[in-house]
Amino acid sequence: MKKNWLMRLIGMSTEEAVQSRAVRDVAGSLLLNITGRILQIGLAILLARILSLEEFGLFTLVMSWVMVLVVPSMLGTRQFVQREIAVAKAKGQWPQVKALLRWSTVTVLLVSFMISAFAVCWLIFRIPVHHSDNLTFIVGFALLPLLALLRLWQAQLRGWGAILAGQIPENIVQRLSFGALLLAGAALLASVKMGALTALLMQGLAISFALAVTAFFKFRYLRIPSGGSPEFEVWKWIRLSSRFTLLGGLVTLNSQVGVLIVGVMMGKAATGLFSVAVKGADLLTVAFLAATTALAPRMAAFYSENRHGKLQLMLVRAYRVVALLTFPVFLLFVFAGSFFLKVFGSSFEAALSALIILSFGKFFSVLSGPNGMMLNMAGQERVTPMAVAVSVVLTVAASVVLIPLMGINGAALASTLGIVTWNVLLVIFCYKRLGIWTPVLGISLVRKKRSVS
């Protein structure tokens, strides 16, 4: 069958593409992620229009802290369980799957409740409870168990192979519910300016509804064959998942550190501006995250089965398409980013330079491929935190120096330096330790080098 230019680029025929389950999963995941990201941007626009700039900044700051704290709340189970369930299913180890499902759910509930309670108590003793900002943070921290359980159950579904069902609740259901609640609240409270506290309460209701939908999906898709009694290797699992805790914490901190430092050094209004630039630049990773989410179980399965050639081919094909889909968005933000920012309000145009700087960093990350996920799925999760830790330290140090000089543009430049450093190190680690080349460019040179050696 004749190949068009796209099929030649990724190295497969049109018939192969249609028949490939991996391609179908990536396509479905991409559609979900695009829809989810559109909803996320729509929610940000809605919040920016409904809330004042300071209240929008406060909401963003609270949610940034929630995203950081949800990582230790999950104790590294998100990626660990997804990997182990995928491997156990490939080997037909059904009792192992049952044990992983039960252990991870109980563990996440206990740990998330403890961290949430500790954070709330610390706030109550630190600041008077009647302080409006304090109440907003307390409500945000109370969301930790709900959000942690939602993300765990989705990871369980993805590990089992229900890739789309493992993304719909958070990407679609939660965001649609939150948007509907915001619109209803704005209509009912038309004469009163809504605050960050009310928005967070609505966020909690939306997460609860998404959790209920995830429970239904688990009942629908997780049909595990009977036979054998579950064997709980608790201490082994805790030891292995703890590596993902460090990694997940560093990755999340790396993504949120700019917002947190801007919040501390420049206040709520600047936080609102910078967060919009971050959300815009994050659009560049929609296709990347969709492909990575869909292909992660196959990365684990192919590597565990020593099918390295097929794994390398899958990565090259998938992420070349990802780069092609991302490039127009990159050009749009670099040359016409002001049109995007105007949608949030005229005051947000001040974030244009930050948006452009962050876009360069995000596009570089896309071109670097799924280096971190590949290492994690291959059992090299000890290596990844080293690169991310270097990136976090560099980002924090650069932020402290550049923010007083350049404001939110300094925060954007610091974040971009961290992203580039992180990806360069992980690409090197992935190639040296696994023999897998993750960037979308340069695979032919790597193959020539291998053939010569």
| Domain residue spans of the chain | 5-452
pLDDT tens column, 137-170: 999 999 999 999 999 999 999 988 888 888 899 9
Q: Is 347 left (phi over 0), alpha (psi -120 to 50) or beta?
A: alpha
Closest residue by Cα to residue 55 from 193, 192, 181, 191 = 193
Number of neighbouring beta carbons within 10 Å of residue 169: 26
Return the pLDDT at 10.
44
Mean pLDDT of 410-426: 93
Return the pLDDT at 444.
57
What would the two tokens of residue 240 be?
């292995």
Between residues 247 and 295, which one has the greater pLDDT? 295
Q: pLDDT band at 251, cuts 50/70/90?
A: confident
d(CA 372, CA 305): 20
Contact yes or no for 65/143 (Cβ under 8 A): no
Return the pLDDT at 21.
58
pLDDT tens column, 214-239: 999 999 988 887 766 777 787 888 88
pLDDT tens column, 354-403: 999 999 999 999 999 888 888 888 888 778 788 888 888 999 999 999 99
Contact yes or no for 375/384 (Cβ under 8 A): yes
Q: Dump the DSSP string for 192-215.
A: S---HHHHHHHHHHHHHHHHHHHH
Element spanning 69, H or E: helix 53-74
Q: pLDDT band at 1, cuts 50/70/90?
A: very low
* Largest separation between any pair of C-alpha atoms in the chain: 74
Report the alpha-carbon angle 79-320-3, nearest 5. Answer: 130
Can you give the pTM of this predicted structure?
0.73
Mean pLDDT of 181-187: 89
Closest residue by Cα to residue 367 from 442, 279, 255 = 442
- Nearby residues of 306 by Cβ (< 8 Å), 6 or more positions away: none
Ranking 10-14, 45-49, 323-327 by mean pLDDT, the lowest is: 10-14
Q: pLDDT band at 84, cuts 50/70/90?
A: confident
pLDDT tens column, 390-405: 888 999 999 999 999 9
Q: With the C-alpha atoms ordered 382, 387, 389, 390, is the resulting torsion angle positive or negative?
A: positive
Most confident among 11-25, 338-352, 406-420 (mean pLDDT): 406-420
d(CA 264, CA 108): 30
The answer on pLDDT for 266 being more than 80 is yes
Q: pLDDT band at 193, cuts 50/70/90?
A: confident
d(CA 309, CA 111): 40
Return the pLDDT at 401.
93
What would the two tokens of residue 40 be?
């996320």
Mean pLDDT of the chain: 84
Q: Dump the DSSP string for 146-167.
A: HHHHHHHHHHHHHHHT-TTTTT
End-to-end CA separation in angstroms for the chain: 35
Rounded percentage of the chain residues whose pLDDT exceeds 70? 89
Contact yes or no for 252/390 (Cβ under 8 A): no
pLDDT tens column, 290-334: 888 778 878 888 888 888 888 888 888 889 989 999 999 999 999
Contact yes or no for 230/197 (Cβ under 8 A): no
What would the two tokens of residue 403 be?
């923010």
Q: What is the dihedral of CA 185, 187, 193, 199, to 10 degrees?
A: 20
